[in-house]
Amino acid sequence: MALIAFGLIAAVVILSAMFVIVARNPVHSVLWLILAFFSSAGLLVLIGAEFLAMLLVVVYVGAVAVLFLFVVMMLDVDFVELKQGTLRYWPFALLVGIIFLGELALVWAASGQLTFDSYDPSPGAATNAEAIGGVMYTQYLLLFQLAGVILLVAMIGAIVLTLRHRPHVKRQDVGHQTARRRGDAYELKDPTPGQGI
Amino acid sequence: MSNAIESLGSLWGPLLVLGQIGLFTLVLLLSIAFLLLLDRKIWAGVMMRKGPNVVGPFGLLQSFADFGKFLLKEIVIPAGANKFVFLFAPILTCTLAFTAWAAIPVAPGTETGTTWVISNLNVGVLYLFAISSLGVYGIIMGGWASNSKYPFLGALRSAAQMVSYEVSIGFVIVTVVLMVGSMNLADIVNNQAGGMQNWHAFSFQNFPLIIVMLPMFVIFFISALAETNRPPFDLPEAESELVAGYQVEYGSTPYLLFMLGEYLNIVLMCAMMTILFLGGWHGPIALGPEATANLPPLLLSLAGLFWFMFKILFFFFLFAMVKAIVPRYRYDQLMRLGWKIFLPTSLAAVLVVAGYVTYFGVQS
């Protein structure tokens, strides 16, 4: 049963990953990418790492891919034109592919057999959320915090790059708006005819 | 019965799950039909109209008449639309809305320690969060595939809005998870047993936390309104600005699926609030083990189911009232509320609750 499920989901992952590259429409590419992410979450569930699977869906599918889709939809880039010249890079692509394949073969040869039987999704803890937390906040605490700092720097960088203080822009100040009372907005006059205010 | 189970052998498990899924789907669809009517009736009541009152007694069959109409109409696909994505978007919305219900525990089981739920996930809360964060795809895909300006603008608005409010929803969920010490939905509900003073919204057993948890409850409710694109945050489909947002080009069955998914998501949010903050299937007054010992377990389960549905109905009533009463927000106000008020507040609440939990050791 698990084997059938694995075969099905793995096939979906590989096919959708292929379609990411093959699809002519960039938006379709992103949609296939989302399918690939989602199916890989299914693979993680199959090996018992349900916490990681859910995180993958929340972070990559729910947030990162949404932004991808956002950007790709907004961009007015003619991807067909971009793809015109890609064919001349095939020797380079072939080289990269061969290197990857060689590395995979090397790993496989070095570690003997890679089997699913020797795998424990939650080592030394009740659930794999606890297992991950236990490792992340003790053994790798410094690296974890470093990752946080890097993200913070990236965030601040993005804000600094995009924040522009333009003069003469009328801004909404909600506190100011709600503090307005009837008397501030208008005043009643009773002008007599022929005199004005 | 037991003979029949044995003769089915290994097929029994999958068949049982299929049966449960069928039952859930049927109950949900029927409830949605009447909840839609309730929504319209409440809206009409606030405006001193009668609301739907022609089809069936008190208009009770209105939703079924609408259903028939939607099914029989012709599906119009606009020229230049991306056909597959256009038709896939509503299906995705509807499917995801149903999928999330797989992890919702609706009542205590007849044997102790069990629950009435299709799949009792260890990461139930995260599962719900993940599935509800996928809901935005139906809207973006629908808006983009329509190949038209209003739907696209509606889709962009909706994507920004849903991503923004997801963040505060996530932090609010974290506070509850910190108090319980588990992401299992059944554990979260059982942590609130023993009367309404133990519900997370009030949490009298950890008294100082009520200052944090009650506002968190309110934040979750408001964020749920924004997440489901309900008024006063229905900017993706603000008819005065965008006609109908991402669903301008939709009609007949695809529109029906969009609407079904939308209402299913609303009920799902109501169920989440019930589970996270209002004690799930636990009644407001605990009867105690002596009183319940002689009662048949099935009765207790059904009583739990009653309370669960009653609370969902209560939240749905609130959703409907908010729709009828509150005027629509401006888009910059919406973003300000999400990022400048809810996000810092809920982040501070996570810190407070985490500190409290670590210091006093509340977790079971």
Put simply, the answer to whether B123 touches A50 (Cβ < 8 Å) is yes
**A57, A127, A174 member nearest B130 (Cβ):** A57
Q: Residue B120 in contact with residue B186, Cβ under 8 Å?
A: yes
Put simply, the answer to whether B136 touches A66 (Cβ < 8 Å) is yes
Residue A49 has pLDDT above 90, yes or no: no
Q: Report the C-alpha gap between B122 and B130 in whole angstroms.
A: 14
**How many pairs of residues across A and B have Cβ atoms under 8 Å apart?**
64
Residues in chain A: 197
Q: Which of B332, B104, B346, B103 is nearest to B223 (CA)?
A: B346
Put simply, the answer to whether A54 touches B336 (Cβ < 8 Å) is no
Looking at residue B2, what is its pLDDT? 60
C-alpha dist (Å) from residue B319 to B124, B165, B169, B325: 24, 17, 17, 10
Q: Report the C-alpha gap between B335 and B326 in whole angstroms.
A: 17
Question: Nearest CA of chain B to the CA of A62: how many Å?
Answer: 5
Give the long-range contacts of residues B26-34, CB within 8 A, separation 24 or more. Answer: B28/B98, B28/B101, B28/B264, B28/B267, B29/B260, B31/B267, B32/B63, B32/B260, B32/B263, B32/B264, B32/B267, B33/B63, B33/B64, B33/B67, B34/B60, B34/B63
Question: Nearest CA of chain B to the CA of A54: how many Å?
Answer: 6
* Smallest CA–CA distance from A70 into chain B, residue: B156
The tokens 């929340």 sit on which residue? Answer: A58
Q: How many CB atoms lie within 10 A of CB B228?
A: 23
A172 touches chain B (CB under 8 A): yes
Q: Report the C-alpha gap between A12 and A17 in whole angstroms.
A: 8
**A28, A58, A66 member nearest B130 (Cβ):** A58
Looking at residue A48, what is its pLDDT? 80
Interhelix angle for B252-277 vs B124-145, to 10°?
A: 150
Q: Which two tokens stand for residue B50?
A: 């009668």
Residue of B95, B133, B334 to mutate, interface with A, max A Cβ within 10 Å: B133
Put simply, the answer to whether A66 touches B183 (Cβ < 8 Å) is no
Looking at residue A79, what is its pLDDT? 61
Residue A124 has pLDDT above 80, yes or no: no
The complex's ipTM works out to: 0.77
Alpha carbon B65 to chain centroid distance? Answer: 25
Residue of B95, B119, B132, B137 to mutate, interface with A, max A Cβ within 10 Å: B137
Put simply, the answer to whether B130 touches A61 (Cβ < 8 Å) is yes
Q: SS3 string of B98-143? A: HHHHHHCCCEECCCCCCEECCCCCCCHHHHHHHHHHHHHHHHHHHH
**Average pLDDT over all residues of chain A:** 82
Assign A105 a pLDDT band (cuts: 50, 70, 90). Answer: confident
Looking at residue A76, what is its pLDDT? 67
Residue A119 has pLDDT above 80, yes or no: no
Q: Which of B317, B253, B301, B232 is nearest to B93 (CA)?
A: B253
DSSP for B181-232?
T---HHHHHHTT-SSGGGSTTT-GGGGGGHHHHHHHHHHHHHHHHHHTT-TT
Q: Report the C-alpha gap between A3 and B99 in whole angstroms.
A: 23
DSSP for A151-191?
HHHHHHHHHHHH----TT-----HHHHHH--HHHH-----P
Put simply, the answer to whether A70 touches B156 (Cβ < 8 Å) is yes
Taking the CA atoms of B223, B227, B228 and B231 in sequence, report the sign of the dihedral they define.
Answer: positive
Put simply, the answer to whether A57 touches B134 (Cβ < 8 Å) is yes
Give the long-range contacts of residues A70-73, CB within 8 A, separation 24 or more. Answer: A70/B140, A70/B156, A70/B159, A72/A26, A72/A27, A72/A29, A72/A30, A73/A27, A73/B140, A73/B144, A73/B152, A73/B156
Assign A44 a pLDDT band (cuts: 50, 70, 90). Answer: confident
A137 touches chain B (CB under 8 A): no
Interhelix angle for A26-46 vs B124-145, to 10°?
A: 160
**R_g of chain B, CA atoms, integer Å:** 21
* Smallest CA–CA distance from A73 into chain B, residue: B144
Strand partners, B108: B115
Please tell me whether the peptide bond between B57 and the residue prior to it is cis, using omega within 30 degrees of 0. Answer: no
Residue B146 identity: S
| A residues 64-83 lying closer than 8 A (beta carbon) to B | 66, 69-70, 73-74
**A62, A73, A129 member nearest B133 (Cβ):** A62
Question: Nearest CA of chain B to the CA of A125: how many Å?
Answer: 13
> Tens of pLDDT along chain B (364 residues)?
566 666 666 777 778 888 888 888 898 888 898 898 999 899 898 988 888 888 878 888 888 888 888 888 888 888 877 788 888 889 998 998 898 888 888 888 777 777 888 888 888 888 888 888 888 888 888 888 888 888 888 888 888 888 888 888 999 999 988 888 888 888 888 888 877 777 887 877 777 788 888 888 999 999 999 888 888 887 767 766 777 777 888 888 888 988 898 899 999 999 999 998 888 888 777 777 777 777 777 887 888 888 888 999 999 999 999 988 888 888 888 888 888 889 999 999 999 888 888 888 766 5
Q: Report the C-alpha gap between B334 and B327 in whole angstroms.
A: 12
Classify residue B67 by burial, with Cβ atoms within 10 Å: 0-12, 13-18, 19+.
middle
The mean pLDDT value for A64-83 works out to: 75
* B contacts of A170 (beta carbons < 8 Å): none
* Smallest CA–CA distance from B155 into chain A, residue: A70
| A residues 31-50 lying closer than 8 A (beta carbon) to B | 31, 34, 50
**A34, A50, A73 member nearest B121 (Cβ):** A50
A51 touches chain B (CB under 8 A): yes
Looking at residue A11, what is its pLDDT? 92
Please work out, in degrees rounded to the nearest 5, the angle formed at the alpha carbon of residue B320 by the alpha carbons of B314 and B321. 90
Residue A20 has pLDDT above 70, yes or no: yes
The tokens 């409830």 sit on which residue? Answer: B31
Looking at residue A102, what is its pLDDT? 92
| B residues 320-359 lying closer than 8 A (beta carbon) to A | 332-333, 336
B163 touches chain A (CB under 8 A): yes
Q: What is the pTM of this model?
A: 0.84
Percentage of chain A beyond pLDDT 70 is 87
Put simply, the answer to whether A174 touches B336 (Cβ < 8 Å) is yes
Question: Nearest CA of chain A to the CA of B332: how many Å?
Answer: 9
Put simply, the answer to whether B137 touches A66 (Cβ < 8 Å) is yes
